[in-house]
A and B are shown apart, each in its own frame.
Chain A
Amino acid sequence: MKPFLTATGIVITFLFGSRHVKAQGGIEAATGAFKDDVHAAAGLTCNSCHSRSAQGGERYAAIPRTAIAPLCARCHSDAAYMRGFDPRVRVDQFAQYVTSTHGKRMTAGEVRVATCSDCHAAHGIKRAGDPRSPVAPVNVATTCGRCHGDATRMTPFGRDAAIPRDWSASVHAVALLKRGDTSAPTCNSCHGSHGAMPPGVENVANVCAQCHLREAELFRASPKKQIFDAIGQAECLACHSNHRIESPADTWIGLKEGAVCAQCHDETVGGVQTIRDVRQQLDRLSAAVAAADAVLTRAERAGMLVDEGRQALRDARDQRLQSRVLVHAFAIKPFAEMATQGVTAARRAQDTGDAAMRDAQVRRRGLAVATLLVLAFLVTLGLKIRRLPDVHRE
């Protein structure tokens, strides 16, 4: 079977390879792209990768797809060679690749899976940190999506082609693509780059914990951990999903439709009172924050300086954020303590705003009295001026 797959692979590779150069507009296009290639800058030439084609002349033979990764690895797995260009460069890419789903299938002769040139390009390769590179953080999802978002390509492998679209609607995509936060996760942050493979159920929490460490710690120490392990439930995914990860809302907590707790809990299952308490306190805290913000905004519009109130409101918002994180402890006590602190801070902010509004009223009343006095003075002065003897001629 294996020799058959390899032979098929060679035939398909030959066909794909022939098209490869054509697809890039021929040798001229490849040569043009290579001028801006990181390898050209390092002094490599066409001959470094290509041999002359069987037809002779100036044409170079296309590299069979199954041979691309091993060809790249000739240099990129050679620590002594690579050190000459970058002493800190990694040389484990090929070792990782052969453990990935892509690498395993390619080794088996399945040439439709990704190899180095599919992600990095063939002749215009840029460093990963270069924003023009297809593997730069902001471009990774598009690069992966070229195949993984194409139902024609994915169906034969039994893969869902909606995944890139789901990720694009996630809070992570918004952070990365709209806010330009390059620390936000994209495909390779969770699946790996060269050793790309979906994390298993048991590993999902570890992957999320790369960034969401506090939530992961709280969850591991919570009673939910044992239950999830026992039923084989992937931890974070149960409430947050995997690719289409939306910004969590307080309405997720509860027993009504739309609440994630309601997926497992109803009136007959334990923990109902805790769910209600958590939701009630979060609502109370959010209401206190909104009320404080409203009065501080009114005071600011009235020209009052309410910096202390704004600081207290920032504290309240921070404590609300921490309260939401503490939901992952699945215990009422630490959550309630933090939520109460938040409500206290929000009330302090509201008090500052109320005091500023009272002060603004006092100022306006004072101004009204002063204006009346000034007007009275002006009227008196005007009458005095009118009663002065008229101007005279020289």
Chain B
Amino acid sequence: MSRLLVEGLWKGYGRQPVLRGVDLDVPAGSLTSVLGLSGCGKTTLLRVVAGFERAERGKVGLGGRTLDDGRTFVAPERRGIGYVPQEGALFPHLSVARNVGFGLSRDERRSGVVDELLEMVGIAALGDRLPHQLSGGEQQRVALARALARKPQALLLDEPFSSLDAALRTRVREEVHTLLRERGVTTVLVTHDQEEALSLADSVAVLRDGRIVQQGSPADLYERPVDERLARFLGAVNVLYASFLGERAQTPLGPLPVSSGAPLGDGAGAVMLRPEQLEVRPQGEGEGVPGRVEECRYYGHDALLQIRAGDEPGELLLARVTGAEALPKGTPVRVRARGAVTPLS
């Protein structure tokens, strides 16, 4: 399998630049997710990598081969890159089997490869159907089988699960994940769903305003985002003012260790704490800063508590506790932070 490398990529439509110097590194055999809001240029990035559009500046390479650098341009049919668009985009005039076999030679089609592929994605019985006779999930599977048929060196998935309803989405997502893992295909998954990106990918790259603002492991991004906007994009967050002293930050919740990585001088700034990092106990049972539950959102598996804590007027904090630990509004509590805080720029 091959490593996909995008360096300093620029691309625009008319005068409007969409991508402004994108750097993306997809290690061989990994699943890397490109996460961003709609309109941030995710699809454009995939289209340039697939060869449907030409890069204006920068370079696209796969497994050491240059695909597009301004001088050379490899046509999409010679790139060995599979593409699964949103909604699947199955050829409406061809049966499922013919869709899957579209990129294969006649001999390959006759060798039973198509049946194997259909079996692999779990729809062996549907080969003779036409695309409009399939459900959304089935269409996605066919689109995936079609893209994998030519054994591509890399696979691009453009929001492949967004058209599925919630229950089906989780299932198809899991199956696709397992399948790609088994085959070890270098994969780029584009999505606007942070949960999807974090749960599926080995590496997540966040695309914002035409640039990758951060790329790293899911945990890296979630725990140590580069700025507050990214922190909030990836999940709920508490932002506290702190003064730094050496390796520790003095916060309204007391002195807390600062996550490694960021070099710190003495001074003041903002730090973030995820709601899961707060430990909330009824007063008398725990330690920490005293406070009071102002709001309780119960979700079953867990609950979000809004707590006012510390000296008057008090800091408004968000804490995530298990469903069993939910506390009613008005309960006096004690709040304590676990783990390290991350400074935000």
Q: Do A and B come from one complex?
A: no
